[in-house]
């Protein structure tokens, strides 16, 4: 066979012994006929052993001149023989085909499947037309594995950058394009939201020294002299606070703290038993719960509230804080459909489905997480580079205003109403958003409190 760079269209015939002679005659006629086609560089027929059903196997290799003639050949001469044999012999002849490169003949096993190994669809090219998986069955190299992992990050025209750039600088563009049917160029909305939210929470709350403490050398222990000096400094600061409170009349001479506690978290006062305490006891009065709704009062029992209070005091609220951080992502996900209902109410004549309003807030929250992530990274980078503190603070203020403006412009672009009407609806939406955010955060706090 002449060496060339074009594809090889391989057709395998599984022929019942009763029609073997007639079928081989048809295959030979086909080979002579396609050799007259300028798109075919060579055509070779050879036999393989019988399959497990006793059928004869004949393989026909069509060496084509290039990729540009592949589709026309498959739809034309390549499929004519299959149609002819099917019409003449029916189930007595089974035909399978695949497309190879000449260098793939040694890479693929003789028994390699002509169907996609992922979805089972018949292969008619280097990639499956149903699921998109590559037809080559060999194992990928380490470099290909790395390329698959970071390809979207390194390729400037990948869906990642085609999504993040308009998300950041073109308010409402992603939602508008998605509703217009231009979707394949962008990352799926909910996947983008989840990726950016996870990235934000990792950057904002992940502490390498705490989570990966094993990789860091322990800090040298404080000597007795250093501890005494720190205690003296804390006591001096505490006395200054007490003197200032006394001068301002907040506390009197009779209300001075009876005990001063100093630890790694600072200093704390303990007052006498007249009820003025910084660390109050966990005494919950049952009368405080009488005005609550019945379904809530049955859950917020006195014993339960006291238990939450005691557990919070044991670790100075660290467990409550960690549990709250864990619940915030779920609370924000709950906020999304609530705000979509608000948009549905604000635009009753827009003829948009509820899920379209939900899509708007999915994109906005994704942008919000992206902006918060960039703000945090800029603040940390400024600290490392020694940039004056006023610059990152000013940047945070400006970008915070940009987030507010972004929401207004997005509403105008997606819903297409005038500035005045959009502004009024913007005020209503921001008000509802603030209330919804506060309620979901309170819910997250309550769940966190009763889960520690």
Boundaries of every domain in the chain:
8-138, 171-215+316-452, 224-294
List the structure tokens of 289: 């719960």
pLDDT of residue 289: 64
pLDDT digit string, tens, across residues 174-224 = 999 998 888 888 888 998 898 888 888 888 877 666 655 555 566 666 666
Asked if 451 contacts 321 with a C-beta cutoff of 8 angstroms, the reply is no
What is the C-alpha to C-alpha distance for residues 39 and 62, in angstroms, rounded to an integer? 10
Residue 159 CA: distances (Å) to CA of 20, 162, 165, 188, 405:
52, 5, 10, 10, 26
* Higher-scoring residue by pLDDT: 73, 117: 73
Phi, psi at residue 373, to the nearest 5°?
A: -65, -45
Residue 289 CA: distances (Å) to CA of 262, 280, 444, 451:
35, 19, 20, 20
pLDDT of residue 272: 54
Whether the per-residue pLDDT at 412 is higher than 90: the answer is yes
pLDDT digit string, tens, across residues 263-292 = 555 556 555 544 444 444 566 666 666 666
Helices 318-346, 302-314: crossing angle, 10 deg rounding: 120
Whether the per-residue pLDDT at 297 is higher than 80: the answer is no
* Higher-scoring residue by pLDDT: 353, 214: 353
pLDDT digit string, tens, across residues 119-163 = 777 666 666 767 777 666 555 566 666 666 555 555 555 777 888
Nearest CA-CA partner of 309 in 317, 318, 299 = 317
Long-range contacts of 248-251 (CB under 8 A, 24+ apart): 251/276
Collect all residues with Cβ–Cβ distance below 8 Å to 226 and sequence separation of at least 6. Answer: none
Whether the per-residue pLDDT at 105 is higher than 50: the answer is no
Helices (H) and strands (E) in the chain, counts: 15, 6
What is the C-alpha to C-alpha distance for residues 338 and 357, in angstroms, rounded to an integer? 10
Collect all residues with Cβ–Cβ distance below 8 Å to 122 and sequence separation of at least 6. Answer: 96, 97, 114, 115, 116
List the structure tokens of 143: 């470099």
What is the C-alpha to C-alpha distance for residues 37 and 426, in angstroms, rounded to an integer? 67
**Average pLDDT of 391-403?**
92
* Higher-scoring residue by pLDDT: 173, 5: 173
Whether the per-residue pLDDT at 324 is higher than 80: the answer is no
pLDDT digit string, tens, across residues 72-103 = 888 888 888 888 888 888 888 888 888 886 55
* Higher-scoring residue by pLDDT: 284, 392: 392
Whether the per-residue pLDDT at 424 is higher than 90: the answer is yes
Asked if 45 contacts 27 with a C-beta cutoff of 8 angstroms, the reply is yes
pLDDT of residue 139: 54
Asked if 12 contacts 58 with a C-beta cutoff of 8 angstroms, the reply is yes
pTM (2 decimals)?
Answer: 0.58
Most confident of 19-23, 150-154, 367-371: 367-371
Looking up tokens 């978290």, which residue turns up? Answer: 265
What is the C-alpha to C-alpha distance for residues 339 and 295, in angstroms, rounded to an integer? 26
Looking up tokens 């506060």, which residue turns up? Answer: 438
**Average pLDDT of 250-261?**
60
Q: Which DSSP state fits 254? A: G
**Average pLDDT of 423-428?**
95
Write down how long the chain is. Answer: 452
Average pLDDT, the chain: 78
What is the C-alpha to C-alpha distance for residues 389 and 403, in angstroms, rounded to an integer? 22
What is the C-alpha to C-alpha distance for residues 164 and 371, in angstroms, rounded to an integer? 11
Residue 197 CA: distances (Å) to CA of 149, 174, 194, 364:
20, 17, 5, 12
List the structure tokens of 309: 């209070």
H-run or E-run covering 4: none
What is the C-alpha to C-alpha distance for residues 335 and 341, in angstroms, rounded to an integer? 10
Helix, strand, coil abundance in the chain, percent, nearest 5:
60, 10, 30
DSSP string, 383-400: HHHT--THHHHHHHHHHH
pLDDT digit string, tens, across residues 224-237 = 676 667 766 766 77
What's the CA dihedral at 225, 226, 228, 234 to 10 degrees? Answer: 170
Residue 258 CA: distances (Å) to CA of 240, 313, 322, 444:
16, 20, 32, 37
Q: Where does 8-138 sit in CATH, by number?
A: 3.30.70.100
**Average pLDDT of 68-75?**
85
Looking up tokens 């001479």, which residue turns up? Answer: 253
């Amino acid at each position: 066979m002449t060496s060339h760079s074009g594809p090889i269209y391989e057709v395998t015939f599984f022929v019942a012994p009763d029609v073997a002679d007639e079928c081989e005659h048809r295959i030979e006629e086909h080979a002579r006929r396609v050799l007259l086609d300028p798109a075919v560089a060579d055509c070779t027929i050879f036999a393989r052993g019988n399959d497990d059903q006793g059928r004869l196997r004949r393989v026909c290799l069509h060496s084509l001149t290039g990729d540009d003639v592949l589709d026309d050949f498959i739809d034309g001469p390549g499929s004519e023989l299959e149609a002819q044999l099917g019409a003449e012999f029916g189930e007595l002849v089974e035909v399978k085909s695949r497309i190879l490169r000449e260098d793939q003949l040694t890479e693929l096993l003789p028994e390699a499947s002509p169907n996609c190994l992922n979805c089972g669809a018949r292969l008619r090219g280097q990639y499956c037309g149903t699921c998109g998986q590559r037809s080559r069955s060999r194992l990928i190299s380490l470099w290909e594995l790395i390329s698959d992992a970071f390809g979207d990050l390194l390729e400037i025209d990948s869906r990642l950058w085609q999504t993040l750039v308009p998300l950041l600088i073109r308010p409402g563009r992603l939602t508008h394009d998605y509703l217009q049917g231009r979707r394949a160029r962008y990352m799926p909305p909910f996947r983008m939201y989840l990726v950016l939210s996870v990235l934000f929470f990792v950057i904002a709350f992940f502490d390498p020294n705490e989570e990966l403490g094993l990789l860091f050398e322990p800090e040298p222990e404080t000597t007795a002299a250093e501890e005494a000096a720190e205690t003296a400094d804390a006591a001096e600061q505490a006395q200054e606070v007490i003197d200032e409170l006394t001068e301002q009349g907040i506390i009197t001479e009779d209300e001075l703290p009876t005990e001063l506690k100093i630890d790694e978290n600072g200093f704390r006062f303990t007052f006498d038993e007249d009820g003025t305490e910084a660390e109050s006891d966990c005494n919950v009065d049952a009368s405080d719960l009488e005005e609550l709704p019945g379904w809530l009062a049955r859950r917020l029992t006195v014993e339960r509230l006291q238990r939450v209070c005691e557990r919070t005091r044991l670790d100075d609220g660290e467990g409550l804080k960690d549990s709250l951080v864990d619940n915030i992502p779920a609370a924000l996900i709950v906020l999304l459909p609530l705000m979509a209902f608000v948009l549905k109410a604000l635009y009753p004549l827009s003829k948009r489905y509820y899920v379209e309003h939900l899509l708007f807030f999915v994109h906005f929250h994704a942008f919000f997480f992206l902006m918060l992530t960039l703000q945090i990274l800029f603040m940390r980078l400024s600290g490392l580079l020694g940039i004056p503190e006023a610059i990152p603070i000013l940047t945070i203020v400006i970008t915070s205003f940009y987030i507010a403006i972004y929401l207004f412009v997005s509403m105008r672009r997606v819903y297409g109403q005038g500035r005045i009407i959009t502004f009024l609806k913007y005020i209503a939406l921001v008000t509802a958003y603030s209330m919804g955010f506060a309620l979901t955060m309170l819910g997250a706090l309550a769940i966190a409190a009763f889960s520690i």
